[in-house]
Structure 1
Amino acid sequence: MISAKPPFDPTYGYTLESLLRVDCPEEPGDFAEFWETRYRRALSVYPNPELSRGKDVHPDFDVYDVRYRSTDDYMIGGWLLSPKHGPIRRGLVVGHGYGGREGPDFDLPVGEAAVLFPCFRGLSLSRDPRLPDNPARHVLHSIDRRDRYILGGCVEDLWLAVSALLSVFPQVEGHIGYSGISFGGGIGALALPWEPRVRLAHLNVPTFGHHPLRLALPTLGSGEAVRRYERRHGSVLETLRYYDAACAARHIRIPVHVAAALSDPFVAPPGQFAIYNALAGPKRLFVLKAGHSDYPERLEEERALLAELGAFFEPL
Structure 2
Amino acid sequence: MVPKKYPYSFDPTYGYTLETLLDITPPAEPEGFAEFWQRAYEEAKNAQPMARLADTGKTENGWRIYDLNYTSTGGMKIGGWVGVPVKGPIRRGFVIGHGYGGRGGCDTHYPLRESVIFYPCMRGQWSRSMNPPISHESQYHVLHDIDKPDKYVLRGCVQDIWVAVTAMLNLFPQVEGHVGYLGGSFGGGLGALALPWDDRISKAHLRVPTFGHHPIRLQCVGQGSGESVRKFHQKHPWVAERTLPYYDAAIAATHIKIPVHCACALFDPNVCPPGQFAVYNAIPGKKKKLYVQDAGHFSYDNEAQQGQEIMDAIEAFFEDL
Q: Establish whether TM, by shorter chain, passes 0.5.
A: yes
Aligned to 2:278: 274
- Aligned partner of 1:182: which letter? S
What's the secondary structure of 1:270's corresponding residue?
helix
How much is the aligned-residue C-alpha RMSD, in angstroms?
1.2
The match for 2:248 among 237, 244, 250 is 244
Match of 1:21 among 20, 23, 41: 23
Question: What is the CA–CA distance in structure 1 between the aligned matches of 2:83 and 2:60, rounded to whole Å?
Answer: 10
- What's the secondary structure of 1:228's corresponding residue? helix
Corresponding residue SS for 1:41: helix
Cα distance per residue 1:95-123 (max 9 Å; x no partner):
00002111101211111000000000000
1:255 aligns with 2:236: no
The correspondence for 1:161, drawn from 158, 161, 164, is 164
- List per-residue Cα deviations over 1:149-206 (Å, max 9, x = no partner): 0100000000001001111100000000000000000000000000000000000000
Tell me the distance in 1 between the aligned counterparts of 2:8 and 2:164.
Answer: 36
Aligned to 2:81: 79
C-alpha distance in 2, partners of 1:207/1:117?
Answer: 19
Question: Could you tell which deviates more after superposition, 178-187 or 32-41?
Answer: 32-41
Count of matched residue positions in the alignment of Structure 1 and Structure 2: 315
Alignment correspondent of 2:109: 107
> Which residue identity does 2:116 align to in structure 1?
A
Alignment of 1:87-98 (within 5 A): 87-98=89-100
2:61–2:108: 8 Å Cα contact kept in structure 1? Answer: no
Q: Does 1:40 align with 2:38?
A: no
Alignment match, 2:195: 192
Identity value in percent: 52
Asked if the contact 2:57–2:64 (Cα under 8 Å) also holds between the matched residues in 1, the reply is no
- How far, CA to CA, are the matches of 2:223 and 2:133 in structure 1? 25
- Alpha-carbon separation, structure 2, partners of 1:187 and 1:158: 8
Say whether the 8 Å CA contact 2:73–2:160 is kept in structure 1: yes
Query: Residue 301 of structure 1 aligns with which residue?
Result: 306
Q: Residue 277 of structure 2 aligns to which amino acid in structure 1?
A: F
**C-alpha separation in 2, matches of 1:261 and 1:59:** 28
CA shift in 2, pair 1:61/1:23, >3 Å: same
* CA separation of 1:59 and 1:156: change in aligned 2, threshold 3 A: closer
Question: Which residue of the other structure, out of 120, 132, 142, is the alignment partner of 1:129?
Answer: 132
Task: Give the CA deviation at 1:233.
Answer: 1.7
Provide the residue aligned with 2:173 in structure 1.
170
Deviation at 1:148, TM superposition (A): 0.5
Which consecutive residues of structure 2, in runs of 5 or more, have no partner in the other structure?
Answer: none
